Amino acid sequence: MSMKKFCILFAAITIAAVSTATAQSRSYEALANIDKKTQANAVCIDVSANVKDAQEVMEKLLKNAGLKGKGGKILSYEKIAFSEISTDYINMYIGFEAKSKNKNNPVTKVNVFVQKGISTDYESSRSDVTLVTNLKYFLDSKYTTAINNNNLEQSINVSQKDVETKKKEVEKLKKDITVYEKNIKKAEENIKKANSDIDKLSKEIETLNQSIKQQNNSIQR
């Protein structure tokens, strides 16, 4: 293979790899509200979860990473070392906004604001491309996976509850069948006794009719 063809092939592979990575990326940069009055640079991601679940999954994920923060509407992690994102100490604030409150298909926008070192500015790819790239990777991989796993666990729990409910219904029906069978057996016994009584009474009626007939014949005219 000539050097020219090799370069063309390498460029094509590189472009394809970049395109694939871009297509898989879900996080994005935007200005977002860190409070009611202030907008700041943030890395954002939209996840298929309600606000409560999105926040709980994030808190658990960061706790497992050894990070301690403060809860509330905005999660606050100050003066932390988070090597997955930056080699510097950072302040990280995370907000959660409901984009869809549909119970069957909730969507929450997660906004992550990061300050580096003693800076009061919030980082963007213009100020620290490595930090933002690492943060995007964290959101697109670990956080998204944690959200998906949480959704699956909830779905499994719902299915398990449905199974338990249906098992209870089956047990109730089995008990009902037992009662019905007892009732059927009792009814069959009653039917059998009634038929026996009918036969007995029919014979008694026949005997009485014969007696009446004989008595009538004995009457002198």
Residue 62's nearest CA partner among 102, 99, 114 is 114
Q: Is the pTM of this model over 0.75?
A: no
Q: Which residues touch 161 (CB under 8 Å, ≥6 apart)?
A: none
pLDDT at position 188: 87
Could you tell me what percent of the chain has a pLDDT over 90?
54
User: Helices (DSSP H) in 3-143: which residue ranges?
Assistant: 3-24, 51-64, 129-138
Given the structure tokens 């008694």, which residue do they identify? 204
- Average pLDDT, integer, range 187-201: 86
pLDDT of res. 63: 95
* Dihedral sign for Cα atoms in the order 171, 177, 179, 185: negative
pLDDT at 217: 82
Tokens coding 191: 């039917």
Label residue 194 by pLDDT band (50, 70, 90): confident
Q: Is the pLDDT of residue 186 over 90?
A: no
pLDDT in tens, 128-170: 999 999 999 999 999 999 999 999 999 999 898 889 898 898 8
**Ramachandran sector of residue 197 (left: φ over 0; alpha: ψ -120 to 50; beta: rest):** alpha
Q: Which DSSP helix (H) or strand (E) runs through 29? A: strand 28-33
Asked whether the predicted pLDDT for residue 214 surpasses 50, the reply is yes
At which residue do the structure tokens 């932390």 appear? 80
Q: What count of other Cβ atoms lies within 10 Å of the Cβ of residue 41?
A: 21
Q: Is pLDDT of 176 > 50? A: yes
pLDDT attached to residue 1? 52
Q: Is 56 left (phi over 0), alpha (psi -120 to 50) or beta?
A: alpha
Tell me the per-residue pLDDT of 22-70, one tens digit each, with 9 for 90 and over: 334 599 999 999 988 889 999 999 999 999 999 999 999 999 999 999 9
> How would residue 87 be classed by pLDDT, with cut points 50, 70 and 90?
very high
Give the pLDDT of residue 102.
93
Question: Does residue 11 surpass a pLDDT of 50?
Answer: no
